[in-house]
A = this chain, B = another copy of it.
């Protein structure tokens, strides 16, 4: 055996009394016809030596890394679930997923991670709508590496081949309509400008939801990131005068929960005076008091689509299931953006 501790394919070959090519063959290329006796000998040698193939050498030789990169803003809530889920999906295709958090939405960190991933020669990239400029992205990724975006809007096709988005606009519209049906006389959107595209989509849907009642209904777009949680509530109350109930649609459940806590503190009745709708359907939304109306995120579907599109771009064979999935959703692609519906989960905070 070699001087280094870990046995190599050479050790296995000599142990089994065959050539290294044969060992390589039985290890991965089962298509080549081989004598069962040879296979047995090799497999036994592998076990006896505790041989473990070296992925670095394999991939260098194959000229593919079989690695995919994922960039998300952080590991919490939805993004964490997304990452965990995607890892499973791509594993089925034989790929490894390298996950990076961009520390919120820091363009520089994004860039650093991207560069690193490219040095690793990842075969494909998945990212949330980047905060870094499209120009930098273009330069970094170039034409080389397939890139699929999720929850990113307005990216040119030259950079991003496909964007798999949750339809926040539609959901937001539904939220507003839900408020109006519930008799809300004032509706507020408490957003986060740092949410970038996702925030803009919500604003757009919010306004659409108001539609013909846009004149007759008090409404406003607030930035909770800027106003702070107290400021947001104050402003909502001020703008609404004595109109009740007020419907506040928040950027996410976390924000809704914080507003709820503040309402408790001030003795404001939810849903009596204020109704709340969040987004993400986090664990705590069901168990908070009162429970918070929210939108369920179809993470599983989204990661399936992301994986399927990416695999197709890379040139991987898709199985029956994934082919069908793509065929089903392809018609729903506009340009290169796909929209997935969200389901509203109505709970106590919106008066049910």
Residues of A within 8 A of B (CB): 1-6, 50, 52-57, 59-60, 63-65, 74-76, 80-81, 83-84, 87, 96, 98-101, 115-116, 118-121, 142, 144, 254, 257-258, 260-261, 264, 282-284, 286-289, 291, 314-315
Contact = CB atoms under 8 A, between A and B. Distances in A.
Contacts of A4: 63
Contact of A60 (B1, B56, B115): B56
B3 A63 contact: yes
A121 B56 contact: yes
A168 to B, nearest CB: 22
Q: How many of these chains are in the complex?
A: 2
Contacts of A96: 98, 116, 120
Nearest to A4: B63
B55 A120 contact: yes
Contacts of A83: 75
Contacts of A52: 115, 118-119
24 contacts: A1-B314, A1-B315, A3-B121, A3-B144, A5-B144, A50-B142, A52-B119, A54-B119, A55-B120, A56-B65, A57-B60, A60-B60, A74-B84, A75-B75, A75-B81, A75-B83, A84-B101, A96-B98, A99-B99, A258-B287, A260-B289, A261-B286, A261-B287, A289-B289
Contact of A288 (B5, B282, B289): B289
A100 B87 contact: yes
A287 B315 contact: no
A65 B286 CA distance: 44
Given A6-B144, A261-B291, A284-B284, 5 more contacts: A1-B314, A52-B119, A55-B119, A75-B80, A76-B81
A3 to B, nearest CB: 6
A226 to B, nearest CB: 20
B287 A257 contact: yes
Contacts of A84: 74-75, 101
